[in-house]
Structure 1
């Protein structure tokens, strides 16, 4: 697939020249260049032997999108993450400053995207390095919260088979993860997603067959269905899935369930929900390795890997508007899906965030997460995290 990525980058540059020459009379079909900056301060305080961590990092992203030529177009994008002003007292996950708590933003410069796209009528196809997100990012996402976002070397086909039916299929050859290229993984992943719109909401069925292609026998197969909709001021969501893992040393099956309901008042939106990542005999927990995990189960990232006893997350959130910005406060209560004599109460967490856009091209935010370890969460400790950031897009 690396050859495919290089071919894609070369092809899209050729296409851009052809498109600009052929379509200059069409003002809606023009090549575009954009830049995106995110300057962020992050601090971590944990009740363990690790030193308190702090990081000031700048993520820069340069994107070129060609005009289209006979349905073909392309994207090439570079991404860079740098430590700023010497504020780099943190474990960056790639072997530096391991005496500090983890902040998963290593320094890196890499090719973020390079793909050729063909779009005609109901069909869209992409080949090359690309961002792929499906539904709510629970299984497949870009992990855009981190400075080095996740992309995939892949072939993707999207087809609007019927008026209300959309089919998406991707074959992934490489997972370009958030830890710079040193921890990227070759894979043989198949992602199939079917979405059907009804008058009550969207019904989605999916099959995600994952395999890390690193010389060992392994497989993680997930099948599920979800339904999401909104009626007047009410919103609702439900999902169930099953998962089976087979490898040289493991063989387990487990399940997933989620339900959420919301109500919007004039100034506030309230949501209540439950998410259950099941366990097989308290030995293996339900896993979603391609997800935007920061979005789920609390922002302090205590449960990026599901405990082998599984995880039950009961949560409530309140959100609204203030001073031309948006705010949210959320509370999580965690427990084991299959409790044991030593593991049951997995703690609580409170999250709060405020974001605001200003001067057309800028945004800023402040975010806080406080996790309180449960009585039986042996590998968890009280954790506080705070973020301050400002972004700019042109």
Structure 2
């Protein structure tokens, strides 16, 4: 009831004094057409999903205030796949179920020093390793929350969110372990200080997956850590770097007593065309039993540890990911803009009782023409002691106004 009153009050405030001012209305349209093909050893039939995702809405703003409402729908044009909710797993999983839902419904007050956002909103913190929007999936992840961002001191930013519901990628048919929304008293606190060589961030993420059907509360965790990220010019080139450490343990109703560590070191070099990168990420293990390793259930998971998505839930023995990347980018080639080629190699091992899980190669080509971006992705996971060999191909068009 208190949450509802808060949103009603925020709406009343925007509607009163702001009514006498000029109101700017901006339409929002975002369309994505994608074909995804999956060939996975151990499952006789392949999966093919051709889906079209449409988001449309409107943003009204006046003075320091704005209100945004956006709906989304996902339609399967070709539905030869297991979407995680409907049918049986006789084909590989592609986690894009059909859906019609409210995507955003938020009110925001913003000044140069302060932003307060209330309602259903996108939240993506730092590199989205711990809290993200899952933008790659057709039904992205949003939060019913109140968020406060404060920049009242030069170079210092405080960002604190209370979220009482996580709206998942599973959409309106979500059920059981894959629910439409997962309630809980989540708190995301993030304080960053910008220095001449990068930003130092301290964070605390209290994730409350307060639903018994979602792993019996065992994804509830408290994570505390620090991150450093920055860029430096080197002649005409640019060096990017980041490092992070965090410690995670059980929280709220989680019946398991555990603690696990997280480490990340990453470096990238942009040579004004050629691009090189390398990194090492560890999601540590605790006792070696299920869900006692470092978990990130609110992450934008597709961005990390390979596009085949073998490690959405961290294995009981944790994971070590050594990766390297190479690519090339062009500002324009004829009518094509922002042309990019990328290749990434991952070697995966367990953190506890070190053994080789497998290797993965990810390839990406993308280009933009006007408001349309076209991309082709391919991922090949070669299993050793974890999972099955899997190959995925994506053909995608994105259009937005």
2:241 corresponds to which of 236, 242, 250: 236
Instruction: Name the structure 2 match of 1:92.
Output: 83
State the Cα distance separating 1:6 from its structure 2 match. Answer: 11
Task: Report what 1:348 is aligned to.
Answer: 359
Once the two structures are TM-superposed, the CA of residue 53 in structure 1 deviates from its matched residue by: 0.2
Pairing of 1:114-125 with structure 2 (within 5 A): 114-125=105-116
> Is 1:153 matched with 2:161?
no
Distance in 2 (CA, whole Å) between partners of 1:94 and 1:5 is: 34
1:169/1:141 Cα in 2 relative to 1: closer, same or farther (>3 Å)? same
Aligned to 1:334: 348
Confirm or deny that 1:167 pairs with 2:168: no
Runs of 4+ in 1 over 4 A off after TM superposition: 5-10, 14-19, 215-218
8 A contact 2:85–2:97 mirrored in 1: yes
Change (3 A) 1:4 1:357: farther
The 1:5/1:37 distance shift into structure 2, 3 A limit, reads farther
Instruction: Indicate the SS of the match to 1:67.
Output: strand
* Partner of residue 252, structure 1: 258
Q: Where does 1:318-329 land on structure 2 (aligned, <5 Å)?
A: 318-322=326-330, 323=333, 324=337, 325-329=339-343
Match of 2:153, SS state, is coil
Please report how far the alpha carbon of residue 205 of structure 1 lies from its aligned counterpart in structure 2 after TM superposition. Answer: 0.6
Which residues in structure 2 correspond to 1:120-269 (within 5 Å)? 120-181=111-172, 182=174, 183=179, 184-214=181-211, 219-232=220-233, 233-246=238-251, 247=253, 249-269=255-275
Residue of structure 1 equivalent to 2:57? 63
Output the aligned Cα RMSD.
2.2
Give matches, 1:238-387, under 5 Å: 238-246=243-251, 247=253, 249-283=255-289, 284-322=292-330, 323=333, 324=337, 325-339=339-353, 344-358=355-369, 360-374=370-384, 376-377=385-386, 380-387=387-394
Query: Secondary structure at 1:161's aligned position in 2?
Result: strand
Q: TM-score, normalised by structure 2?
A: 0.89
Aligned to 1:37: 31
* Kept after mapping to 1: 8 A contact 2:10/2:107: no
Residues 370 and 217 of structure 1: CA distance in aligned 2, closer, same or farther (over 3 Å): closer
Structure 1 residues 248 and 285: CA distance shift in structure 2, 3 A? closer
Contact preservation (8 Å) 2:143, 2:163: yes
| Equivalent of residue 388 in structure 1, options 364, 374, 395 | 395
Q: CA deviation at 1:67?
A: 1.6
User: Aligned partners of 2:190 and 2:365: how far apart in 1?
Assistant: 33
Distance, in Å, in 1 between the alignment partners of 2:120 and 2:261 is: 31
Q: Assess if the C-alpha contact under 8 Å between 2:225 and 2:247 holds in 1.
A: yes
Aligned residues, how many?
378
**Residues 164 and 6 (structure 1 numbering): CA distance in 2 closer, same or farther, change over 3 Å?**
closer
Conserved? CA contact 1:16–1:68, under 8 Å: no
2: CA distance, partners of 1:352 / 1:5: 48
Of stretches 148-157 and 314-323 in structure 1, the one that deviates more from structure 2 is 314-323
Please, what TM-score do these two structures have when normalized by structure 1?
Answer: 0.91
Report SS of the residue matched to 1:31.
strand
What do the CA deviations read for 1:54-99 (whole angstroms, capped 9, x no partner)? 0000000012111225x22211010100011xx1011111133431
Give the distance between the partners of 2:398 and 2:318, measured in 1 at CA.
36
Question: Alpha-carbon deviations, 1:249-285, whole Å to 9, x = none?
Answer: 3110010000012222232110111000000032221
Secondary structure in 1 matching 2:320:
strand
